[in-house]
Chains A and B, each alone.
Chain A
């Protein structure tokens, strides 16, 4: 359990082993109510205020299944190219832990509602990697525990725990991949890109708010290593509740290096649950799983089976929106993008922002250029997602309009964006407040041109002699004198006109 366990270099890991991934993603559905009762499904309420006899497991209460939750999961299954089970049931998963007041969790066991699908994942270089989907099943989320009396806030060493059941019974689904071999050195990237693709898909379906930071999307990453030349998979570990996309990638990479070091040293990988430490980018041993736990699953007697008719399935299929990969293909066609250009804007998280900017009236090429270059730089500098920058597509469209009209140069426009990002108001307000409008008054420009020519008589002479390329130096001087607020093209014209022989 040391934090600084020796690690094999990543290159050596790949020389000796083939990684195999398995990803389990839990997603809280954004239904209005819980899975089996009419309590509101909401994050952040006062503890134990979104509860009723059913989700508190009080005697005599009975669960009734939420239609919207079932339909959400069926739509997800369809979007993942899964088969929908013609008949399936819920099961009780029995265990003793106070996060479920019933002492069991209602889940699906051997009869998931959707199974045998796939998700095509776009990798960073724009290439595609297909991840097989084993199953999608429905269950209910558990309550939240606080452990008190220990210095760390962890369960170990605590002397009592406090339970909030607002989350108990919130509709949850689990999406489990088939084993993913063949990713090689890209295994950590595939893991991250899979979760990204799944998040984008769920967002497009409007079935969850998919906030990893709030726990509405949680990823467990299974990793094992197969020695090169061997056929059987190695022993896997499961790293729990990795809370960000970057952490998914780091956790897989670390686990590959850690396991390789263990195996190379003649040791064996222990099948266990591990926890990812966000600070050190390492995984630490948690619960051992030497024997699979006996949850004594049995069919839930208080719920009847779900038997989706073909008609119901087809009706739901017609409700599927444009899916992310279809959206990308349409954007590429509409905006005339190369594969590389599409990849760059997808990686920047800019697709919807550009689309919204275009909808607000900007030409696609201008909208793309702003979001993918200058604004991406600004987002990176601030270490936030592009969409989190405090500038809206409408504001950017107005800015682009001002540049197109000649009211702003690109240099000035960047200063206007800086102002908007700094909270100085709308683009027009920033232009007015900072005095950034282009100097369009010819007489003012003419005076600046004359001054610049007078300051560089030898250059003026060259231009008069026909060397018009020398005009650049004068234009530069004028731009400097006007603080970049002049239209360089117009200044150039004025310089040449003044020096006409």
Chain B
């Protein structure tokens, strides 16, 4: 009576770039099932007049003025980077999950 399948766990692991072994898939499926079942119980007590919420604090419109504040220098920004080059963060070769040749070079992953 799982609410989450082994296949779904594998898919989530792939999306999260987590290497999960076959035996771990079973373990996580069971554990996630417990979590989902527990959370689902909230739905049992939520009446129709209680809207879903995503924030514990009932605030709206928390805004700041459009005024520049000092940030970090390039040296500070790159200080903790494992690797840097030409004032930029250096990262290993970027591979797409499925097929690197199909990956675009446009960078921005806008919807």
Asked if B44 is at the interface of the complex by the 8 Å CB criterion, the answer is no
CA A269 to CA B106, docked complex, whole Å:
22
Rounded to whole Å, the gap between the CB of A467 and the closest CB of chain B is 75
Q: A155-B105, A174-B110 are in contact. Are A305 and B87 (CB under 8 A)?
A: no
- B71 interface residue, CB < 8 Å from A? yes
User: Other CB < 8 Å A-B pairs besides A39-B69, A307-B61, 5 of them?
Assistant: A66-B66, A105-B109, A162-B85, A162-B91, A163-B89
A–B complex contacts, Cβ < 8 Å, 29 sampled: A31-B66, A33-B66, A33-B69, A39-B69, A47-B86, A48-B77, A49-B74, A52-B69, A67-B65, A87-B60, A101-B89, A139-B110, A146-B86, A146-B88, A149-B93, A156-B100, A156-B105, A161-B90, A161-B94, A162-B88, A162-B91, A172-B110, A240-B104, A273-B104, A287-B103, A287-B104, A296-B15, A304-B57, A304-B61
Q: A95, A164, A220: which has the most chain B beta carbons within 10 Å?
A: A164
Residues of A contacting B68 with CB < 8 Å? 32-33, 38-40
Q: Which of B69, B73, B105 has the most CB of A within 10 A?
A: B105
B104–A160 touching, CB < 8 Å: no
A48 contacts B55, CB within 8 Å?
Answer: no
Using CB atoms and an 8 Å cutoff, list the residues of chain B in contact with chain A: 11, 15, 17, 54-55, 57, 59-69, 71-74, 77-78, 85-94, 96-97, 100-111
- Interface centre among A93, A105, A163, A306, by most B CB within 10 Å? A163
In the complex, which of the residues A32, A158, A159 contacts B66, with contact meaning CB atoms closer than 8 Å? A32
The residues in A between 162 and 219 inclusive whose CB is less than 8 angstroms from any CB of B are 162-165, 172, 174
- A443-474 CB mask vs B (1 if < 8 Å, else 0) is 00000000000000000000000000000000
For the complex, count residues of A whose C-beta is within 8 A of B: 81
Asked whether any CB of chain B lies closer than 8 Å to the CB of A301, the reply is yes
In whole angstroms, what is the CA distance A51 to B87 when docked?
Answer: 12
B-binding residues in A (CB < 8 A): 26, 31-33, 37-40, 46-53, 55-56, 64-70, 87, 89, 93-101, 105, 107, 139, 141-149, 154-156, 158-165, 172, 174, 220, 240-241, 273, 275, 286-288, 294-296, 298-299, 301, 303-308
Evaluate whether A70 and B77 lie within 8 angstroms (CB atoms) in the complex, with A97-B107, A99-B107, A164-B87 already known: no
State whether A275 touches B104 (Cβ < 8 A): yes
Report which of A144, A154, A286, A294 forms a contact with B15, defined as CB distance below 8 A: A294
Contact between A306 and B106 (Cβ–Cβ < 8 Å)?
no
Which residue from chain A places its CB closest to the CB of B80 in the assembled complex? A58
Also in contact, A142 and B109, with CB within 8 A (given A39-B71, A161-B91, A287-B103): yes
CA distance A89 to B52 in the complex (A): 13
- Which residues of B are found within 8 Å of A97, using beta-carbon distances? 94, 107, 109
Q: In the complex, A329 Cα to B74 Cα: how many Å? A: 50
B22 to chain A, nearest CB (A): 22
List of B residues within 8 angstroms of A67 by Cβ = 63-66
CA distance A305 to B56 in the complex (A): 12
- In the complex the two chains form, is B111's CB within 8 Å of A89's CB? no
Q: Tell me the bound Cα distance from A148 to B63 in angstroms.
A: 39
A162-B66 contact, Cβ under 8 Å, with A48-B78, A97-B94, A155-B105 = no
Given A156-B103, A156-B105 in contact, is the A162-B89 Cβ separation under 8 Å?
A: yes
- Taking a contact as CB atoms under 8 Å apart, the answer to whether A99 and B108 are in contact is yes
Q: Which 6 A-B pairs have the closest CB atoms?
A: A38-B69, A299-B54, A52-B71, A68-B66, A162-B88, A67-B63
User: CB-CB < 8 A to B101: which residues of A?
Assistant: 156
Contact A98 B91 (CB under 8 A): yes
CB closest chain-A residue, reference B14: A294
A144 with B107, Cβ < 8 A, contacts A32-B68, A49-B73 known: yes
